[in-house]
Structure 1
Amino acid sequence: MALLKIKHWLVKIKSCKEGPFVYLSLVGNIANSDGLIASLWKEYGKADARWLNFDPTIVSVEILTAVLDGFLALFLIYAIVKEKPYRHFLQITLCVCELYGDWMTFCPEWLVGSPNLNTNNWLYCWVYLVFFNGVWVLIPALLLWQSWVELKKIHQKGTSSGKKFQ
């Protein structure tokens, strides 16, 4: 239940900040935008400059995150609350989408030597880049593990009762 609450709040946080990021990026750029959300992204842009100006890889990943993952997360919350049998399928799908998005956000940057990442400043490197982004790796990894354990229990129940899955 604790993971559900964490996931629920993370969905709210992610949707409320990534949706506006996509919008601001498509109509201009974060660097020239005003407002609370723009100032949040401007602060993060001190650690990763790709978030300040239109970066097609970042914006593409964020479109999928804000739209597809947002709807998947809401559907997953419904499936958890209503104890639907497809809950773990949705959870695994959402977690893999999130981990893939994290990979596609950082791997291309690493391959070219991380020119847009500020790794010289302790706060920007370890808090903004490692910690804040690490949350989006740790939580999906824990939820994947939870689904693995639950699916394993279901499988063991089915095989111990003599039923075979078809």
Structure 2
Amino acid sequence: MDPVFEKEIPHFFTPITGYSLLACALQFVVGYIIAQILGKKCSGTDRWVLVWLLYDAIVHITLEGPFVYMSLVGTVATSDSIAAEPWKEYGKADGRWLHSDPTIVALELLTVFLDSLLALVLVYAIIKDKHYRHFIQITLCVCELYGGWMTFCPDWLVGSPNLNTDNWLYLWVYLVFFNGVWVVVPGILLWQSWLSLKLLHNTRQGKKKIQ
């Protein structure tokens, strides 16, 4: 299958590259500040979980939300909105985002509306120490991991014609790092939920033995 775009060698740190990376950093800073305010009574570990969840929700709403809108009314490639510029830059690494591939748009619809909601509900559950915290946490993590798999697996199965892996910036920063974060962190949170549920089970078993 022919690629949907011409692979190119990037000019490093063009204005849009710098603006896009700065936007990502600012989103993280905003998430960190809000987490410190809302999670002041939480443990240090849970405050970092809150940082991630708030960053996750901010990215889904403010970055991927506009992508969904642009894809429903046209494509990123044909949009002249300033919100399209980061996606035009990312589209140099994965051309499907430029042309609003239906599979990508379908996944992003779930990401923007479902994952964002789950992240915000989980923030509330952690702050208020709700019993459903780990149910929501596991659900969100599975959604994130499934979304990552379905983003790349269809393209891998046909020889990755849309992925530009010829340059380290596109491969290691755009594709591996920015997508890998949504694999590593959900994996860590799943492990946290596993340990918490195991501890709860062992505590209940200990109480039964005492009785």
* TM-score, length-scaled by structure 2: 0.75
CA deviations 1:44-81 (Å, max 9, x no partner) are: 00000000012110000000000111111111111111
Which 5+ residue runs of structure 1 have no aligned equivalent? none
CA apart distance, 1:112: 0.3
Match of 1:108 in 2: 154
Match of 2:27 in 1: none
Of 96, 114, 117 in structure 1, the residue corresponding to residue 142 of structure 2 is 96
Residue correspondence of structure 1 range 5-44 to structure 2 within 5 A: 5-44=51-90
Q: What is the root-mean-square deviation in Å for CA atoms of aligned residues? A: 1.0
Of 108, 124, 148 in structure 1, the residue corresponding to residue 170 of structure 2 is 124
| Secondary structure of 2:159 counterpart | coil
Residue correspondence of structure 1 range 59-78 to structure 2 within 5 A: 59-78=105-124
Whole-angstrom CA distance in 2 between matches of 1:156 and 1:36: 53
Which 5+ residue runs of structure 2 have no aligned equivalent? 1-46
Whole-angstrom CA distance in 1 between matches of 2:141 and 2:52: 14
Identical columns (%)? 63
Structure with larger Rg: 2
Of 80, 103, 114 in structure 2, the residue corresponding to residue 57 of structure 1 is 103
- The 8 Å contact of residues 125 and 132 in structure 2, kept in 1 or not, is answered as yes
Aligned length: 163
Whole-angstrom CA distance in 2 between matches of 1:14 and 1:139: 15
